Structure 1
Amino acid sequence: MIIESIAGTWRFSLDEAKQGVDHKWYNERLQDHIQLPGTTSEHQKGEYNTAREIAHLTEAYPLNGYAWYQREIEIKAEWASKHIQLYVERTRVTHVWIGDELQGMQNSVSAPHIYEFGIMAPGMYTLTILVDNSGLPIKGGHMTSPDTQTNWNGLLGRIEIQASDLIRIDNVQAFPDAGNKSVQLRFQVINDTMGNADANLSIALADMVGAIQGNGNAAAGVKTAIIRSVPGIQSVELHYELGEDIMLWDEFNPVLYRLLVSLEANANGQTYRNEQSVSFGMRQFGTEGTQFTNNGRKVFLRGKHDALAFPLTGYAPMTVEEWVKVLSVAKSYGINHYRFHTCCPPEAGFMAADLLGIYFEPELPYWGAFQDPADEGYDEARSDYLREEGLRILKAYGNHPSFALFTLGNELHGSRNAMSSLLKEYREQDNRRLYAEGANNYFWAPAFSEDSDFWVTMRTGHGESMVRASFSHADLPLGHVQGSYPSTVTDYRDNLPDIQVPTISHEIGQYQSFPNFGEIEKYTGVLKARNFEVFRERLQAAGMLDQADQFFRASGQLAVICYREEIEAALRTPGFGGFQLLDLQDFPGQGTALVGVLDAFMDSKGFIEPEKWREFCSEIVLLARIPKFTYTTEETLVAELEIANYGSESLEAVQLEWSLKQGDRLIEAGVTAAKHVRQGTLEDVGTLQIDLSAAEAPAKLTLALKWKGSDVTNHYPIWVYPSAQVEAKPQAEFHLRRSFDQETSDILEEGGRVLLIPHQEQLSSHIDGAFASDFWCYPMFRSICEGKDAAPAPGTLGILCDEKHPVFKAFPTEFHSNWQWWPILIHSHSLILDKWPEAFRPLVQVIDNFERNHKLGLIVEAKVGKGSLLICASDLIGQQDKPEVRQLLHSLQQYAASEEFNPSFELSYDQIRSVLDPNAVGERETHRGQAVINPSYPN
């Protein structure tokens, strides 16, 4: 095949009124110009968009309609009597003219557009392409969404005129048989002559990695065959033995090979030659019971969601180098799997994944209902399009070993018969991968489809049903991160139904962090972060812009803590198939979901380094099952140690070195007995029992695990508190009050000190307590909840505090939420302080979301009247069975009784009453002097 790129300068015209077809613009010389490959938005064609989108990024030059592209092409003399075709790697709906002759229409958004021109006389021709991004039979999922890669208009990737002999090879597909070290080739021989011909075929194998390095063309064995070519299209199958030394493709050793298929035929005294190459990897991706396998080795999918969001261009990269860079970042965070939400990457993405050893799961570009022909309102065009788009994806990318799974779309509904029929056709067409009905289909009533090879779901309808740790308030009940007292023992084994296929947890995580306004300047391409600008203005109007970076960092640390538990819960589940994060990176649309530890550019947000993330997200993870995070010095820490081994081999004589430290001070250490850990299993490797009496409580401890002789580690925080407080003589009298009533006011007016822990009913202006960072983004799920007449989520993003403030002298904490804050936050109602002075800052501030921007106080202090007031909006009194709650109460008491309790900010009685209702509960109790450690208070 002769290939000539026609990239470069093209003539161009916008056609917003869609009049060009009627006015025969293909017969005119277009006057504007554009560079291809590229998009209209990249080249600033059309009207500049001054809107400020809030729910997603703003495209500076959007286009929804027609654009015309035109240039001359030359059919060279040596191309006479050759078959000519146009190849456009990626675009939208296209109509193509040569001169004034329409060559047809194509509408794939996932696969190349190839137009067959046939034999053309040498000379110059005018090629005109109309691209319409408004005329798809379907909405197109994230292939065309403004929430992700935009609905761009243009021509991307390779744009070529291709000339081939009239007898040629087409559509070479390699079906590897890893067990027998052979490959079955399926291809077509096309004969556009009028006569029969004897065609000599030869097949040669070259190492693909060597080919990339420039030395891989040496033949590794040649197979020949002769076929009788007849006019038309013939299907050919040839079996090729690869030899004993062939290497298999997997995530640990992604070896690629390239087959060269050559044809030489003689007909009517003329010789025809053609050569096609195909890269492939020797792999057999399958299942064994509830687990995935690759070449017989168990695989746990550590996946991320991807919707082809690339803010600089508005479309997915079209070169291998760009994709290698992107996928290498994901792999550095332990990711071995990509799920493409209602979209399909281009060829370069698959090739990069082939080279790096990442398992891809593209989907049909669809998010809706499937229909049977008998259904009322049956949309034949839509059904036909979905079927054909899937076949086009299989044909274009089916040879890639990274293409391991395929589904019909996201959260589908409608006819299961229609979906089953499609799965059957695809599987018969191409059995090189696993197929499933969809991702989280029928999520309101989940049930496994027997026609699927695996199941992607958030609930199973079995046991407590959950197979992920986080849910929105529109999908109650919540997961265990928010809904259960913290531990590291939760897994999903009891929630898995008795089905012998792997289950993958759908879109796990979705823990939001606060915007990083410093990111705005990175949006130098087609998409602008005007939503971030609006969020910044809102925060400034709320008087907290100076805290933006603190909110960003603190909320990010909470998100990491939640993600760790989310991922480890999946790894603690024996025989589980894997998970699909939403997401490792921020999602720029659907309300603006800042759910990543990477930003939308795949750059680190500074929350956690890749090597720390890989402690709990990698092929081998050391796990400790700990029943709780908080203890007293009278207790014993018991931890069941496990290894999740999804590495390349079974592990012999594994020993774990463990230590419990208080800073640099060693409390206890040891080494477990040697154990054999099978590949693809979760194995017990020992039990720790550590007496905590040696801890200098209160303290945060670190339990460290290390696989002896390796760099594989993991770490867990533990908090230890005194079992009984040893009280120092208070430096000053204080009053512990439960209501901001007249008696409390009198104490303050007399210059007294008050620690106020009001009954929760008295918090008249508040936001409900929550531990986990808000799910996805507040505005999107607020509106969904309101549409269901359900209460929205609290919408908060953890806490921000000054960990060095004396109020925390007896309560070790970081500047952000951690597990010891869980019962304190869950049983709280943070105060809305919007009407208090702008400069006021709480001692413990609950971080609100970017839509609401309330100033929220959990612990606040102020001068009131002549006295000093310290308020805690958590029900510490009702949670005295929790050592962390007792300890916080003690720390507040110690502070209130110290000379350091000297608030500088003055507030009026009315300002305090604006957030407290003294009439809600009528208790009038007070405690003076030394703190009460285990009080018995009326409810």
Structure 2
Amino acid sequence: MDVNTISLSGEWKFSLDPEKAGITGKYYENELTDKIILPGTTDENKKGFKNEKHETERLTREYIYIGYAWYQKEIEISEAWKNKYILLFLERTRISHVWLDDKYIGTQNSICTPHLYELGRIDPGPHRLTIMVDNSELPVPGSHQTSPDTQTNWNGILGRIELTATDPVWINDINAYPDIRGKKVRLKVQIRNETGKKLSGILRLKANSFNSPDSHNVPEVSYNISLENQTTEIDIEYFIGDNMLLWDEYSPSLYRLYAKLSTTGAEKYISLKEITFAMREFSAKGTQFNINGRTVFLRGKTDCCVFPLTGYAPMDLKSWLEIFQIAKSYGINHYRFHTWCPPEACFTAADMLGIFLQVELPYWGPFYEPGEKDYNENAFYYLYSEARAIIKTFANHPSFVMFSAGNELSGSRRAISELIKTLREYDSRLLYSEGSNSFLWDPKIPDESDFWVTMRTAPGDSMVRGSFSHADKPLGHIQAGPPNTRKTYADSISNIPIPVISHEVGQYQSYPNFREIEKYTGVLKPYNLETFRQRAEKAGILDKADDFHKASGKLAVLCYKEEIEAALRTPGFGGIQLLDLQDFPGQGTALVGILDSFMHSKGFVTPEEWREFCSDIVLLACFDKYTYTTGEEFCAEIKVSNYGAGDIDNTVIEWWIGNGQETYFRGFLEVPEIRQGTVDTAGEIKLNLEGVKAPEKLTLNLKFKNSDIKNHYSIWVYPKKTDITIPSEICVSNNTEEAKSLLKEGKTVLFVVDKNTEIDSVEGFFAPDFWCYPMFRKACEDAGKPVAPGTLGILCNNNHPALKEFPCDYYSDWQWWHIITNSRPVILDKAAPGLNPVVQVIDNFDRNHRLGLLFEGRYKKGKVFVCASDLFSIQDKPEARQLLHSILKYMASEEFNPETVLG
């Protein structure tokens, strides 16, 4: 007979046991009195203790329970199951203990893989199954598998909860090792024999593709086998043949293997088993990754297990297909699971959609060797056994290509290397790494690792990402500037022999979207967001929250584009892992995604716009600066980052430069070949900007002819000569007391804030604040380092007459870089509520300053325009000259008539 299955989903009897008295009190001998629905958690069932605390650094669990929880169900074993071998399958839980009636079956402690209990032969009739789940004594701390910042440390049982019955001889496991060169798959088949007898049998195998337009049926083969022991392991080479279909991100062709075991003696037993596998070879070839002989650039997302409605990852295929389809729409082909392992449905969905997965041990801390002071033998061997369990359970999935020992590990490099070496010997199908960004303060090429996930390749400025916190100085190139599109990480990886992946790229914070609060209808409550909204209201800036959200998000996208393109411009680079495509609602609340915590768009950028710079084939324009004057030459080297399905032959790149209404320049670049796996030059654009009607914002557009592959860049052109003569009626001052005196006299004053001005202000900073202001403020304070400015770009009233001669949008763009980095935005918390800056700097949700970059008002008898950027010190920059010109022209006009009283 085939395996029979009984689902145990539904209502269970239940009891909390916070005092942990149930084992000695023998709860399993008595009927429990409460009820609960499984699969599910105590949180979902509103069991535990109502949480009265409102967290501000993360989402808040409505119900909290940490301790023993008892689950009990009456099961009926039918006569058909008499003499069958019965197993209990719990797909995902915490530490579990199982009793059948009054008999203790055992305990298991994997938090990443199913718990499988062998109940053996059970007499027909009713029986009492009792499971105790303990989430209070987890084997290792510090991971997103159990973190209160993301998944939460729930108690419960998730996914499939089943009893299975099989004949006492059955196929227990099959592992598939594809060999695409030999056009075969090596199968390791494990067969269990619980009869206590020596048996013989026939094992039949057949396979067929099932999700590809091209069908392929592999001929059936059979093998005579001897089953003399309780466990028999057989190695088989199964020839797939010349019609073999390969798996990759473009054609994720899967095979289903059917195995049938029939015993041939007097006792007739039959066992059937199916597995899914694929023919693919994922490898590290030099400094890059390779799939079936083709170079792959990993465009990754770091997944931190953010699922606010449930507090845990979905266990069903439909949900994971939807998640990955959203990610793919933004050009993502790779997922890194930050210190956690997803369930089976996730791997299956990734198999179907061609996503490359990196799984990590649920660990974020130090490894020690025996003899070292803090060595914990139990923890070390738990991590080793957990790694083996993850690999054994999921490595058949073609999407599972990479394994990491954890995040930002420390301790003994040798201990981690030995772990990786041992795991590779256990299973060679995966690429292994000592961890993601391990030993970040002293980065070195990791021993035994096939790839390296890191933020820098050596101490100092050997960076491979553009965003850094003030606690990790020096800062990345986006803030260090000046802005251009030529930055690569070639120097940083020049002596690295294995693929390098940028660790946690981005982390550009945006202002909260308070309208998101209503989405939190599940077990986690957004009291942090509600608190931030209350603070904004108290600070008098809540009316601008929507605009802050949009403007800060536009800047975040701008910075993400540059950081991703810098990686794509780097020849021989391995890939990136964003942090993140979606928000991270913990660790202070890190709103770093272009999608919210629910994987919904924030409205900053469309998937199509994002794919312009985050896709397998990207058109790149490399130029020295964003701001020009008429008569200057604009020169851009056009490159193609081609990590697509193949070479690009005999194509044409169209390009044009215009302002949306008028096209100034147009041309074509004929491209004979761009080889797959390269970043190649397609040509050069060189032109004189003399005929541009400056000042003007222009867009350089690039597009493959007869294709939807395109990209665009903004540039600004200003007059070669700009009149910045100070009109006689305008007084310029950088001294507060002097300016007040002039204003008392009824003068018109341009008040310029520079480094010598005594005024309450913050440091000017172009890029959005890194990750989360409260978290990294504390990190800097603890390290004795200066705290970051903490701002999120600007909100600009671009229709204000003061900016009539300075083309700009409502958000920060590259022409503001020098202006903002040479600024001291003024703190206006005590100013009149009606003061509405022409350009307001957006502060973070924790501090909530009203910050003015450009603003105006009346003081005593006079009129004042405040410019918190020292434009006079950067007059070599055409954008600074032009902004000063625009301000002066406005102040000299009748339009300059501010109403707000400043004091």
- Distance, in Å, in 1 between the alignment partners of 2:254 and 2:263 is 30
Q: Aligned match of 1:79 in 70, 78, 81? A: 81
Residue 445 of structure 1 is matched in structure 2 by 442
- Equivalent residues in 2 for 1:180-329, closer than 5 Å: 180-209=182-211, 220-267=218-265, 269-329=266-326
Q: Is the 8 A contact 2:203 2:222 kept in 1?
A: yes
Matching residue within 718, 723, 733 for 1:737: 733
The aligned counterpart of 1:822 is: 817
Q: How does 1:653-672 map to 2 (within 5 A)?
A: 653-672=650-669
Matched-pair contact (CA < 8 Å) for 1:706–1:712:
yes
Q: Deviations over 1:446-494 (max 9, x none)?
A: 0011300000000001784000001000000000000110000001001
Question: Where do 1:284-683 residues align within 5 Å?
Answer: 284-461=281-458, 464-683=461-680
Does 2:171 correspond to 1:175? no
The answer (yes or no) to whether the contact 2:511–2:548 under 8 Å persists in 1 is yes
What TM-score results when the alignment is normalised by the length of structure 1?
0.94
Aligned partners of 1:740 and 1:110: how far apart in 2? 62
Say if 2:724 and 2:884, in contact at 8 Å, map to a contact too.
no
**Partner SS, residue 400 of structure 2:** coil
In structure 2, the CA distance between the partners of 1:521 and 1:903, relative to structure 1 (3 Å rule), is same
Partners of 1:899 and 1:294 lie apart in 2 by: 67
- For residues 670 and 290 of structure 1, the distance between their equivalents in structure 2, rounded to whole angstroms, comes to 36
What secondary structure, in the 3-state scheme, does the structure 2 residue paired with 1:711 have? Answer: coil
**Alignment pair present for 1:893 and 2:900:** no
Q: Would the aligned equivalents of 2:287 and 2:498 in 1 still touch at CA under 8 Å?
A: yes
The two structures, once aligned, show a CA RMSD in angstroms of 1.5
CA contact (8 A) 1:543 1:839 kept: no
Shift of 1:171: 1.6
Matches within 5 A, 1:18-97: 18-97=20-99
Task: Answer yes or no: is 1:6 the counterpart of 2:14.
Answer: no
Matched-pair contact (CA < 8 Å) for 1:285–1:295: yes
Structure 1 residue corresponding to 2:709, chosen from 709, 712, 730: 712
Paired AA for residue 201 in structure 1: L
- Cα deviation for residue 759 of structure 1 reads 3.0
Count residues in correspondence.
901
| Alpha-carbon distance between aligned partners in 2 of 1:374 and 1:224, rounded to the nearest angstrom | 52
Q: Determine the structure 1 residue equivalent to 2:808.
A: 813
What letter matches 2:228 in structure 1? V
**Which secondary structure does the structure 1 equivalent of 2:269 belong to?**
strand
Q: Secondary structure at the match of 2:336?
A: strand
CA drift of 1:847 comes to 0.5
> Residues 462 and 840 of structure 1: is their aligned pair in 2 closer, same or farther, counting only changes over 3 Å?
closer
Q: Is the 8 A contact 2:77 2:124 kept in 1?
A: yes
Which string of whole-angstrom CA distances, capped at 9 and with x for unpartnered residues, describes residues 235-257 of structure 1?
11111011111210000111111
Query: Could you tell me which amino acid in structure 2 is paired with residue 353 of structure 1?
Result: A
Displacement of 1:854 after TM fit? 0.6
CA distance in 2, matches of 1:19, 1:287: 52
CA contact (8 A) 1:208 1:256 kept: yes
Match of 1:802 in 2: 797
CA 1:419–1:726 in 2, change beyond 3 Å: closer, same or farther?
Answer: closer
Alpha-carbon distance in 2 for matches of 1:570, 1:604: 24
Question: Are 2:202 and 2:264, in contact at CA under 8 Å, matched by a contact in 1?
Answer: no
Amino acid at match of 2:235: E
Paired with 2:96 and 2:405, the residues of 1 have a C-alpha distance of 24
Deviation sequence 1:66-101 (CA, Å, 0-9, x none): 111000112211111111110000000000000111
* One-letter amino acid of the counterpart of residue 5, structure 2: I
Closer/same/farther in 2, CA of residues 462 and 834 from structure 1, 3 Å limit: closer
Deviates more, 1:96-105 or 1:417-426: 417-426
How far is the alpha carbon of 1:866 from its aligned partner? 1.6
Q: Using a 3 Å threshold, how does the CA distance of structure 1 residues 223 and 280 change in structure 2: closer, same or farther?
A: same
| Residues 672 and 686 in structure 1, CA contact (< 8 A), matched pair in contact too | yes
Could you tell me how far 1:648 is from its partner in structure 2? 0.4
Partner of 1:903: 898
How far is the alpha carbon of 1:376 from its aligned partner?
A: 2.0
- Take 2:4 and 2:393, find their aligned partners in 1: how far apart are those partners? 20
What's the CA shift string for 1:318-369, capped at 9, x where partnerless?
0111000001100000000000000011000000000010000010000011
The answer for the alignment partner of 1:751 in structure 2 is: 746
Gaps of 5+ in 1: 909-939
**Is the CA contact (8 Å cut-off) linking 2:245 and 2:279 kept in structure 1?**
yes
**Stretches of structure 2 lacking an aligned partner (at least 5 in a row):** none
Is the 8 Å Cα contact of residues 320 and 351 (structure 1) preserved in structure 2? yes
Change (3 A) 1:299 1:196: same
Residue-by-residue CA offset, 1:246-276 (whole Å, 9 max, x unaligned) = 2100001111111011100144x22111011
Secondary structure, counterpart of 2:682 in structure 1:
strand
Query: Per-residue CA shift, 1:640-693, capped at 9, x if unaligned?
Result: 100000000001012211001022211111001223000010000101112111
Deviation at 1:726, TM superposition (A): 5.5
Deviations 1:544-573 (A, max 9, x none): 111111111110000000000010000000
Residue-by-residue CA offset, 1:713-765 (whole Å, 9 max, x unaligned): 000000000011268997x93222232334x3343234321111133221431
Q: CA deviation at 1:28?
A: 1.1
1:697 is the counterpart of 2:699: no
Give how far 1:860 is off: 1.3
Counterpart amino acid of 2:571? P
2:786 counterpart residue number: 791
Q: What amino acid does structure 2 have at the position aligned with 1:905?
A: T
Contact 1:463-1:496 within 8 A present in 2 as well = no
Distance (Å, rounded) in 2 between the aligned partners of 1:171 and 1:61: 39
Is the Cα contact below 8 Å between 1:13 and 1:32 reproduced in 2?
yes
Q: Residue type of the partner of 2:734?
A: R
Matches within 5 A, 1:775-786: 775-786=770-781
Q: TM-score scaled by structure 2?
A: 0.98
Query: Percent same amino acid among aligned pairs?
Result: 51
Cα deviation for residue 140 of structure 1 reads 4.9
Q: Is the 8 A contact 2:619 2:702 kept in 1?
A: yes
Structure 1 contact 460–497 (Cα < 8 Å) conserved? no
Alignment-mate amino acid for residue 106 of structure 1: Q
| 1:361-383 deviation per Cα after TM superposition (whole angstroms, max 9, x unaligned) | 01000001112112223211101
After TM superposition, give the deviation of residue 219 of structure 1 in Å. Answer: 5.5
Give the AA of the match of 1:739.
N
Q: Determine if the alignment matches structure 1 residue 837 to structure 2 residue 832.
A: yes
- Conserved? CA contact 2:803–2:887, under 8 Å: yes
For the Cα contact (< 8 Å) 1:468–1:505, is it kept in 2?
A: yes
Q: Deviations over 1:90-140 (max 9, x none)?
A: 000000000111111101110000001111111111000001111112015
Q: Which residue of 2 aligns with 1:107?
A: 109
Give the aligned residue type for 2:285. E
Which residue identity lines up with residue 513 of structure 2 in the other structure?
N
Three-state SS of the structure 2 residue aligned to 1:282 is coil
Q: 1:726 to 1:874 in 2, by over 3 A?
A: closer
Helix, strand or coil at the partner of 1:287: strand
